[in-house]
A and B are shown apart, each in its own frame.
Chain A
Amino acid sequence: MISSDIIRGYNDIIILYLLLEDSSYGYEISKNIRQITNEEYVMKETTLYSAFARLEKNGYIQSFFGEETQGKRRTYYKITQEGLQYYKEKCEEWEVTKEVINKFIKEMG
């Protein structure tokens, strides 16, 4: 399992990616992360919700109340235009980061 320290700077990418297609809510996002990464990365609840707070403050996502299901009125999040822009920038940043780090990675036989 990946430690949360290493991945910290990329939590935003992960969450925004999962919002690209459709709006979603806390548990669904956390479940998707778990499934997509084959349980290699499990995002802590507080990490997820502090990312929501940060992204919303910066105008990258918007929260709204969903329809009531199973007696619960969940908070949904959707990505904004600024969020999409930010996502693209983060992806480019990752490409560069990956290239840079890769230069220092050696296959040890």
Chain B
Amino acid sequence: METIKNYLDSIFIGLPESEEIMRLKSDLQDSMEDKYIELKREGKTENEAIGIVISEFGNIDELLNEMEVQTKMNQSQLPTLDLEPAKEYLSLKHKSDKMVGLGVWMIIFSTSILAFVYQALEDNLFLTQLSGNAKNTFPALIFLVFLIPAVAILIYSGTKLDSYKFIEENKFKTTLATRAYVENYYNQEKTKQTQGVIIGVSVCFLSLVPALISNMISDDATTYGGSILLFMISIAVYILITTGSKANACKQLLQIDEYKVEKSKESKVIGIVASIIWPIAVCIFLFTGLVYHKWEINWIVFPLTGILFGGFCAVYSMSTKEN
């Protein structure tokens, strides 16, 4: 049954989603499913039944001509994605997401190490001969040592997928073989994604434990607790970024959920907002740190930005869904 639905989905890709077309699609699906069920009842195997149903489907152009459908995008002009490039896209996308994960991990980790070094210097745990001024600047130096390669990695990860831009712009169509392979792969990855999300979110919550405990001990310990909190969040974020990567790449290839042709606008808006809000957060962080020496508290800007950004994404998708 799923195969019939997928078959129709692949045929209707790129067609306007008007009421008329959607009605036609669901009529065709009902009809094909009825035929499939009857063939199965006559004792045909699943494969035989599907084979017959699809071979008796006919030619969609015949139908579209009759309905005078103007195909918005001329499908035949879109590049076809074969199985091999699709596999390569999946693997490249995963690699690129791992790099993004690593980059983001390094940024958050650098704030964690920054908080730690700042407090350790304050407590005279090492480098005791440094002057007061140097003690304020030294943590920033360490921060930059992590930040610069992190930014480099993030930029590089973006260029890795340049040759597959047309996929991310939804300007392609897939062959049936590709679709079947990706669907299969997606179903395997979906469960892994759920597990990853559960682990990532758990680590997020657990990260509060050292922060709360250290808070009970003393003010100075709070900074160490904050450092551990950031470290655990950095790991959680890495898990969250990389875990959905394969499943999301599949969704992109299948053009489902948030990767439907008309929906890609939304992720673009979110992308633009992200590329503005995060550098601002980093600027605020560096500014309050270097100018006002508030390293012990200003890391809060990152979790805050995260919460605000997450809230924005949720509200934005809700409002576009309603439209």
**Bind each other:** yes
- Chain A interface (Cβ < 8 Å from any Cβ of B): 25-27, 30-31, 42, 44-50, 53-54, 72, 74-75
Dominant SS among interface residues on chain B? helix
Given A53-B67, A75-B27, check contact A45 B32 (CB 8 Å): yes
The proximity string for B residues 268-312 relative to A, scoring 1 for CB distances below 8 Å and 0 otherwise, is: 000000000000000000000000000000000000000000000
Chain B contacts with A in 49-80, Cβ cutoff 8 A: 56-60, 62-63, 65-67
* Chain B: minimal CB distance from A25 (Å): 8
Nearest 7 interchain pairs by C-beta: A44-B58, A46-B58, A50-B66, A27-B34, A26-B31, A46-B63, A27-B31
Residues of A within 8 A of B56 (CB): 42, 44-45
Is B23 interfacial (CB-CB < 8 Å)?
yes
Give how many A-B residue pairs fall within 8 Å (CB-CB). 53
Residues of B within 8 A of A31 (CB): 34-35, 38
The answer to whether A53 touches B57 (Cβ under 8 A) is no
The answer to whether A44 touches B57 (Cβ under 8 A) is yes
Instruction: Please report the C-alpha to C-alpha distance between residue A60 and residue B170 in the assembled complex, in whole angstroms.
Output: 40
The answer to whether B60 touches A46 (Cβ under 8 A) is yes
Residues of B within 8 A of A25 (CB): 30-31
Known A42-B56, A72-B30; 11 more pairs at CB < 8 Å: A26-B27, A30-B31, A44-B56, A45-B56, A45-B57, A46-B62, A49-B27, A49-B63, A50-B65, A53-B67, A74-B27
Instruction: Please report the C-alpha to C-alpha distance between residue A31 and residue B34 in the assembled complex, in whole angstroms.
Output: 10
* Chain A: minimal CB distance from B216 (Å): 57
* Chain A: minimal CB distance from B245 (Å): 36
The answer to whether B30 touches A27 (Cβ under 8 A) is yes
The answer to whether A26 touches B67 (Cβ under 8 A) is no
Residues of A within 8 A of B24 (CB): 49
Is B28 interfacial (CB-CB < 8 Å)?
yes
Interface core residue of B23, B28, B58 (most chain A CB under 10 Å): B58
12 contacts between A and B (CB under 8 A): A26-B28, A27-B30, A30-B31, A30-B35, A31-B34, A44-B56, A44-B59, A45-B32, A46-B60, A46-B63, A49-B24, A49-B63
Instruction: Please report the C-alpha to C-alpha distance between residue A53 and residue B34 in the assembled complex, in whole angstroms.
Output: 20
Instruction: Please report the C-alpha to C-alpha distance between residue A44 and residue B57 in the assembled complex, in whole angstroms.
Output: 5
From the candidates A42, A45, A54, A72, name the one contacting B28 in the complex (CB within 8 A).
A45
The answer to whether B28 touches A49 (Cβ under 8 A) is yes
Residues of B within 8 A of A72 (CB): 30
* Chain B: minimal CB distance from A55 (Å): 10
Instruction: Please report the C-alpha to C-alpha distance between residue A75 and residue B30 in the assembled complex, in whole angstroms.
Output: 10
Interface core residue of A25, A47, A49, A75 (most chain B CB under 10 Å): A49
Given A26-B31, A42-B56, A74-B27, check contact A50 B38 (CB 8 Å): no
* Chain B: minimal CB distance from A19 (Å): 16
Instruction: Please report the C-alpha to C-alpha distance between residue A88 and residue B71 in the assembled complex, in whole angstroms.
Output: 36
The answer to whether B67 touches A50 (Cβ under 8 A) is yes
Chain B contacts with A in 10-44, Cβ cutoff 8 A: 23-24, 27-28, 30-32, 34-35, 38
Instruction: Please report the C-alpha to C-alpha distance between residue A75 and residue B28 in the assembled complex, in whole angstroms.
Output: 10
Interface core residue of A31, A46, A75 (most chain B CB under 10 Å): A46
The answer to whether B30 touches A46 (Cβ under 8 A) is no
The answer to whether B30 touches A74 (Cβ under 8 A) is yes
